[in-house]
């Protein structure tokens, strides 16, 4: 099975059922299926072909959903890129995967145009929500491409589930993002496993506010269409009361969240269970929920099953804690998801005893096929497994198990910071800091944070006459980095510690007490 | 000529709007991919504000204008544009 069949087969089963609800419009499965057919036909008419890469650079919207499925229907590969990414990094990604096209919206053209000017491979820019006549040269207006008579989707040659479906870029320890290669069969396996333990069905209505450029948000779209459910797609959790109202209006049954959202809900002191809809389930991932929050969340949603989960882009999801275990082992992220295995090994590759810390290894049909054109990084992450035909994923995450085999996250093996469930390479943030006039030395570290998992912290030594404030640093970072990479805190020191060979040491910076 | 209710707020709507705008420009504008924002433009749609941003905005309103923002009032119709915020302040002046 290929991923686009999630949509087309649900459209055959439930043509008139609501598939997608956005603040501006409701879409039935038939309407969405036809719009994606038309866009796929337009893309093919412009020369997009089997295996081409297409960047999706959009906020949560129906256009983004249509863009993803139209790309797949054209036989091409989609690459969702966080729309807060800045022009130079977008150019790097487009160039790295030699993207043939980018689908975006008018308000992001300020970033897209300079990026595509540098990426020679991009032949086509599809622009949604543009004012008439403002199209980029050689561009295609999204609205025109999905209007008009129904066109059949193109029939890509020899399409199988062994084709690449998605390239999703993640931070690497060298500072350059790496494209995680997911075949159709990897995505289908992950979506099947997750919908199995969530017991998802066509009766579900999912409220998604997570960015669909992030795999947790993206899979809400894919899994909704897979089971023929309804997706209510919103852009942000900034106004929780408005979303609680939406939940009741739409009869929402499933609500995926991250710890910051749980904490926002719990900060609303006047909220009682009577104000909240009877959700079937809530999921949490990205970082573990603090135990106190789990308890209060369950009090607010007494009849709701709460799933604590853990994953990484390279295999989408690794583990989940069955909800009935939540009160017993609130700090655990559970067991391997169905049809996969998760185990902990020591430095020699031997499985550890309960309580011993080691590296988490994942095996299953959801594991990526490697990093795009990066055999070195691929060889480090994918290593021989129990069978000669199989590679298993070394996650770089340190874990331990309890006596009953339940898994607990301990930390990272390398310098990578895990904040809000996204990987942040300190090197990437540091090189942005060094570009700021007045910064003499900069080191970026992760500090434990109950909500974010780790918070990004910048430790800076300035040039003697520089007068930089915390706000100057944050503003500069926000202008050059995706929002999740922007430090949450800044500390100024007169000098940063060096290791014996004179190099700045993140470890020593993290170990030194804050200067009084 | 002073209107009867003006004694409760030293700020005219224009001054209020100016103050709200400068808070948003100073604290949020650099987060989005835009250079300026119109009075009636959605802060969410422009990518300027997230849930932390809303909490910062609420703290600013409470401190600067002495109003108490109830959880139930933290809704887009009250806080999602400079114009909405300005009229919310006008209708919630402290008494």
Nearest to A453 by CA among A319, A298, A297, A258: A258
pTM for this prediction:
0.90
Inter-chain CB proximity B30 and A479 less than 8 Å: yes
Q: Rounded mean pLDDT of A181-196?
A: 98
Inter-chain CB proximity B50 and A108 less than 8 Å: no
Inter-chain CB proximity B47 and A84 less than 8 Å: yes
Q: Rounded mean pLDDT of A385-410?
A: 94
Query: CB–CB of A380/A314 below 8 Å?
Result: no
CA end-to-end span of chain A: 60
Inter-chain CB proximity A269 and B31 less than 8 Å: no
Query: CB–CB of A428/A485 below 8 Å?
Result: yes
Per the prediction, chain A carries an average pLDDT of 92
pLDDT in tens, A328-377: 999 899 999 999 999 999 999 999 999 999 999 999 999 999 999 999 99
Handedness of CA A27, A28, A29, A33 (dihedral sign): negative
- In chain A, the percentage of residues whose pLDDT exceeds 90 is 74
Bridge partners of residue A458, in order along the sequence: A444, A490
Name which of A84, A241, A260 is nearest B72 (Cβ-Cβ). A241
Q: Which residue, chain included where needed, has tokens 């810390």?
A: A357
CB pairs under 8 A between A and B: 61
Inter-chain CB proximity A241 and B45 less than 8 Å: no
Q: What's the CA gap between A379 and A393, in Å, rounded?
A: 10
pLDDT in tens, A36-46: 999 999 999 99
SS3 assignment, position A18 = strand
Q: Rounded mean pLDDT of B59-79?
A: 91
pLDDT in tens, A104-141: 999 899 999 999 999 999 999 999 988 776 667 668 99
User: Is B47's Cβ below 8 Å from some Cβ in A?
Assistant: yes
Q: Which of B26, B47, B58 is the best mutation test for A, with the most CBs of A within 10 A?
A: B47
Predicted local confidence at residue B3, as pLDDT:
46
On the question of pLDDT at A516 being above 50, the answer is: no
Nearest to A173 by CA among A496, A430, A372: A430
Q: How confident is the model at residue A514 (pLDDT cuts 50, 70, 90)?
A: low
The nearest alpha carbon in chain A to B79 belongs to: A239
A30 or B51: whose pLDDT is higher?
Answer: A30
Predicted local confidence at residue A509, as pLDDT:
87
Query: Nearest-5° angle of CA B54, CA A105, CA B38?
Result: 45
User: Of A147-161, A313-327, A421-435, which range is least confident?
Assistant: A147-161
Torsion of CA A307, A318, A98, A101, to 10 degrees: -20
User: Is B30's Cβ below 8 Å from some Cβ in A?
Assistant: yes
pLDDT in tens, A406-454: 999 888 888 889 887 788 989 889 989 999 999 999 999 999 887 788 8
Predicted local confidence at residue B5, as pLDDT:
45
Residues of chain B with Cβ-Cβ distance to A239 below 8 Å are 44, 54, 74-76, 79-80
Structure tokens at A347: 């430095």
Q: Indicate if ipTM > 0.90.
A: no
Query: CB–CB of A299/A273 below 8 Å?
Result: yes
Helices A62-73, A29-45: inter-axial angle, 10-degree rounding: 60
Inter-chain CB proximity B50 and A239 less than 8 Å: no
- Residue B12 distance to chain A (closest CA, Å): 27
Q: What's the CA gap between A176 and A32, in Å, rounded?
A: 36
Q: Rounded mean pLDDT of A266-279?
A: 90
Measured CA distances, B1 to A251, A294, B4, B11 (Å): 53, 57, 9, 14
Q: What's the CA gap between A436 and A452, in Å, rounded?
A: 26
Q: What's the CA gap between B54 and A239, in Å, rounded?
A: 8
Q: What's the CA gap between A211 and A366, in Å, rounded?
A: 21
Residues of chain B with Cβ-Cβ distance to A271 below 8 Å are 71
Q: What's the CA gap between B12 and B82, in Å, rounded?
A: 15
User: Of A9-18, A250-259, A490-499, which range is least confident?
Assistant: A490-499
Nearest to A226 by CA among A9, A64, A75: A9
CATH class of this structure's domain B13-90: mainly alpha
User: Is B38's Cβ below 8 Å from some Cβ in A?
Assistant: no
Q: What's the CA gap between A259 and A291, in Å, rounded?
A: 11
Residues of chain B with Cβ-Cβ distance to A478 below 8 Å are 30-31
Sorted by sequence, the CB contacts under 8 Å of residue B26 that are 6+ apart come out as none
A511 or A116: whose pLDDT is higher?
Answer: A116
pLDDT in tens, B10-60: 567 788 889 999 999 888 887 666 678 899 999 988 888 887 788 889 999
Name the strand (E) or helix (H) holding A164: strand A164-170
Nearest to B86 by CA among B22, B36, B29: B22
Residues of chain A with Cβ-Cβ distance to B58 below 8 Å are none
User: Is B76's Cβ below 8 Å from some Cβ in A?
Assistant: yes
Name which of A108, A260, A264 is nearest B33 (Cβ-Cβ). A108
Structure tokens at B84: 């909405």
User: Is B8's Cβ below 8 Å from some Cβ in A?
Assistant: no
Sorted by sequence, the CB contacts under 8 Å of residue A189 that are 6+ apart come out as A339, A364, A365, A366
Torsion of CA A402, A408, A410, A415, to 10 degrees: 140
User: Is B44's Cβ below 8 Å from some Cβ in A?
Assistant: yes
Inter-chain CB proximity A483 and B31 less than 8 Å: yes
Give domain limits for chain B.
13-90
Q: Which of B36, B51, B54, B85 is the best mutation test for A, with the most CBs of A within 10 A?
A: B51
Residue A176 is classified by DSSP as S
Sorted by sequence, the CB contacts under 8 Å of residue B24 that are 6+ apart come out as B37, B43, B48, B57, B82
CA end-to-end span of chain B: 21
Inter-chain CB proximity A239 and B76 less than 8 Å: yes
Handedness of CA A431, A433, A434, A437 (dihedral sign): positive
On the question of pLDDT at A17 being above 70, the answer is: yes
């Amino acid at each position: 099975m290929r991923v686009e069949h999630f949509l087309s087969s649900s459209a055959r089963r439930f043509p008139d059922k609501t598939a997608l609800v956005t603040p501006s419009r409701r879409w039935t499965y038939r309407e969405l299926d036809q719009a994606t057919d038309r866009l796929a036909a337009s893309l093919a008419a412009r020369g997009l072909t089997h295996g081409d890469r297409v960047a999706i650079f959009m906020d949560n919207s129906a256009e983004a959903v249509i863009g993803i499925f139209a790309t797949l229907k054209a036989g091409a590969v989609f690459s969702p890129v966080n729309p807060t990414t800045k022009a130079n990094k977008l150019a790097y990604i487009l160039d790295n995967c030699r993207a043939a096209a980018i689908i975006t919206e008018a308000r992001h053209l300020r970033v897209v145009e300079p990026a595509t000017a540098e990426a020679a491979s991009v032949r086509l820019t599809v622009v949604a929500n543009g004012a008439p006549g403002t199209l980029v040269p050689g561009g295609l207006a999204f609205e025109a491409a999905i209007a008009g008579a129904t066109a059949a989707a193109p029939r890509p040659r020899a399409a199988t589930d062994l084709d690449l479906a998605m390239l999703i870029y993640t931070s690497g320890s060298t500072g350059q993002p790496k494209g995680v290669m997911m075949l159709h069969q990897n995505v289908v396996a992950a979506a099947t496993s997750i919908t199995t333990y969530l017991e998802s069905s066509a009766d579900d209505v999912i409220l998604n506010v997570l960015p669909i450029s992030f795999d947790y948000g993206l899979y809400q779209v894919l899994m909704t269409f897979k089971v023929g459910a309804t997706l209510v797609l919103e852009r942000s959790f900034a106004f929780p009361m408005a979303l609680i109202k939406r939940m009741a209006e739409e009869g929402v049954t499933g609500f995926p969240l991250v710890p910051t959202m749980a904490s926002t809900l719990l900060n609303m002191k006047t909220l009682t269970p009577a104000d909240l809809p009877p959700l079937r389930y809530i999921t949490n991932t990205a970082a573990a929920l603090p135990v106190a929050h789990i308890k209060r969340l369950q009090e607010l949603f007494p009849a709701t099953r709460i799933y604590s989960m853990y994953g990484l882009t390279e295999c989408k999801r690794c583990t989940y804690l069955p909800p009935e275990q939540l009160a017993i082992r609130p700090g655990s992220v559970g067991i391997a998801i169905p049809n996969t295995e998760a185990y902990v090994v020591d430095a020699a590759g031997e499985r550890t005893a309960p309580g011993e810390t080691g590296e988490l290894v994942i095996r299953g049909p959801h594991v990526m096929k490697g990093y795009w054109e990066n055999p070195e990084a691929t060889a480090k992450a994918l290593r021989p497994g129990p069978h000669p035909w199989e590679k298993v994923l070394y996650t770089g995450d340190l874990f331990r198990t309890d006596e009953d085999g339940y898994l607990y996250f301990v930390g990272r093996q390398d310098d990578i910071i895990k904040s809000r469930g996204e990987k942040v390479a300190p090197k990437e943030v540091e090189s942005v800091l060094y570009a700021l006039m007045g910064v003499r030395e900069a080191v970026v570290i992760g500090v434990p944070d109950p909500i974010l998992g780790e918070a990004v912290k910048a430790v800076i030594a300035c040039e003697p006459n520089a007068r930089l404030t915390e706000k100057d640093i944050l503003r500069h970072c926000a202008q050059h980095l995706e929002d999740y990479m922007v430090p949450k805190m800044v500390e100024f020191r007169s000098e940063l510690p060096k290791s014996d060979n004179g190099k700045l040491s993140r470890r020593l910076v993290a170990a030194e007490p804050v200067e009084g | 000529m002073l209107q009867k209710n003006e004694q409760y707020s030293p700020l005219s709507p224009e001054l209020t709007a100016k103050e709200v705008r400068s808070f948003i420009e100073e604290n949020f504008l650099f987060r989005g991919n835009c250079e300026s924002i119109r009075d009636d433009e959605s802060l969410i749609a422009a990518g300027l504000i997230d849930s932390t941003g809303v909490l910062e905005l609420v703290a600013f309103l409470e401190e600067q204008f002495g109003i108490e923002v109830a959880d139930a009032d933290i809704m887009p119709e009250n806080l999602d544009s400079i114009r909405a915020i300005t009229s919310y302040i006008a209708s919630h002046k402290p008494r």
